Amino acid sequence: MKAAAAQPTGVVVGTCATRLWGMDGAERARRTLRKLGIAVAEELPTSGTVVLVRADWVVDSALIGLMKSEAPGARLVARDGNAATLLAVYVDAADAPAAQVALLASGGAAEAPLPHLREIAYDPKSPSIYLHKLRKRLKPVVMPLVPANVRAAEKATFHGAYKDVTDIVTKYVWPLPARHATRWCSEHGVSPNMVTMVGFVLVFAAMGLFYEGWFAAGLAAAWIMTFLDTVDGKLARCTLTFTKFGDVFDHGIDLISPPFWWWAWHVGCVNAGVSYPLAELSLWIVLGGYVVLRLQEGLFKALFGMHIHVWRRWDSVFRLIVARRNPILVILTVAVALGQPGWGMTISAAWTAVSVVVHFVQLTQALSFRRTQPVVTWLAE
């Protein structure tokens, strides 16, 4: 059995006092390396392989990971016209001192003394890359970490942490306030799991308020929870503090909470004497439809290796309004504003049924399509 290749050691070169998302440049570089599975050392090792990264540039982890996937003897260079800057190097330990000198050189001269290394070039004019996990195309963030660039780097890295294919509220309403909230949390030592825990408490608050028929107050708690659900993930990615536990905690709440909210809404209507058409049937359609939609999405991913909402451009557009938590909350909010909370449940049930049918059609079309050609996401084209 072939032994697994030893992981390289990571070394951050230089210092940088400019802070981004509550971290100075060196700490950001260290977290980037660790998230790539690279143990960080303060001194150059005398054996093995080494990944050296500059502290005074924001370098997208995807590019460091690309360089690491190569055999030792590679350098990552930012090229913009005639200008070239050495950003990171992956070498055997024997070449590490020369690489460190090159990275510390004024301007990070990309040529000497490492002309023999293979070059991985990043050019701002290069095409964007497809990020499967975030369901988006994105240009990697590469820029000097200097005071004048902090806001631009903040916007770019926040955008890089944001899913493009999501619901209409998350995509168009939350980004700006979420970026400010993420900055505040990062600068005040608030961790992603702390934000998730507050959201977890609000899940129960919203459910209790819906159950008692206090729909407006419950909606306020629910919307704050959905906002924090955006903030915690972006905070984790921007500060490079995401963990498996945090991911399971966050997505577990997202997965389980909506059916309990819709059930509590129905009970609240009953307790408040609010009647509406096909009340019991509407409840079962909303609850059953939620489960069916999740199963359909899981089946599509199992069959085709991607989310159902990223196959074609139209599928991504439909994700904006599919009967998931936030679009249903929009329907219920409008219904309460019109003084008809019961009708909100009826309309939600109808839209859930429509969404189930649309997902069935998408699955059927994809199964037919792959008889003649592969099913791939339009974002990767």
Is residue 243 one of the residues assigned to a domain? Answer: yes
Q: What is the pLDDT of residues 64-83, one digit of tens each?
A: 988 888 889 998 888 877 77
116 and 166 both lie in a single domain = no
188 and 61 both lie in a single domain = no
Q: What is the pLDDT of residues 252-293, one digit of tens each?
A: 898 899 999 999 999 999 999 888 899 999 999 999 999 999
Is residue 128 one of the residues assigned to a domain? Answer: no
Q: Which one is predicted more confidently, 303 or 135? A: 303
Q: What is the pLDDT of residues 152-196, one digit of tens each?
A: 999 999 998 888 899 999 999 999 999 999 999 999 999 999 999
pLDDT at 128 over 70: no
Is residue 141 one of the residues assigned to a domain? Answer: no
Is residue 107 one of the residues assigned to a domain? Answer: yes
Q: Specify the CATH number for the domain of residue 196.
A: 1.20.120.1760
**pLDDT cut 70: percent of the chain above it:** 92
Looking at residue 7, its pLDDT comes to: 86
195 and 111 both lie in a single domain = no
319 and 199 both lie in a single domain = yes
109 and 174 both lie in a single domain = no
Q: Residue for token digits 């049930």?
A: 349
Q: What is the pLDDT of residues 344-380, one digit of tens each?
A: 999 999 999 999 999 999 999 999 999 999 999 988 7
pLDDT at 15 over 60: yes
Q: Alpha-carbon distance 88 to 100, whole Å?
A: 9
- Mean pLDDT computed over every residue of the chain: 90
115 and 167 both lie in a single domain = no
Looking at residue 140, its pLDDT comes to: 84
223 and 304 both lie in a single domain = yes
Q: Quick check: 144 and 15 in contact, CB under 8 A? A: no
193 and 82 both lie in a single domain = no
Is residue 139 one of the residues assigned to a domain? Answer: no
Q: What is the pLDDT of residues 291-310, one digit of tens each?
A: 999 999 999 999 999 999 99
173 and 111 both lie in a single domain = no
Is residue 142 one of the residues assigned to a domain? Answer: no
336 and 234 both lie in a single domain = yes
Looking at residue 218, its pLDDT comes to: 98
101 and 217 both lie in a single domain = no
215 and 320 both lie in a single domain = yes
Residues 6+ apart with CB under 8 A from 336: 215, 216, 219, 344
Q: Specify the CATH number for the domain of residue 88.
A: 3.90.550
Report how many domains make up the chain. Answer: 2
- Residue 24 structural domain: 9-122
Is residue 316 one of the residues assigned to a domain? Answer: yes
**Chain mean position to CA 127:** 20
Q: Alpha-carbon distance 350 to 343, whole Å?
A: 11
The verdict on pTM exceeding 0.85 is: yes
What own/partner pairs with CB < 8 Å and gap ≥ 24 does 346-351 have? 346/276, 346/277, 346/278, 346/279, 346/282, 348/262, 348/282, 348/286, 348/323, 349/278, 349/281, 349/282, 349/283, 349/285, 349/286, 349/289, 350/285, 351/323, 351/327
Q: How many CB atoms lie within 10 A of CB 135?
A: 19
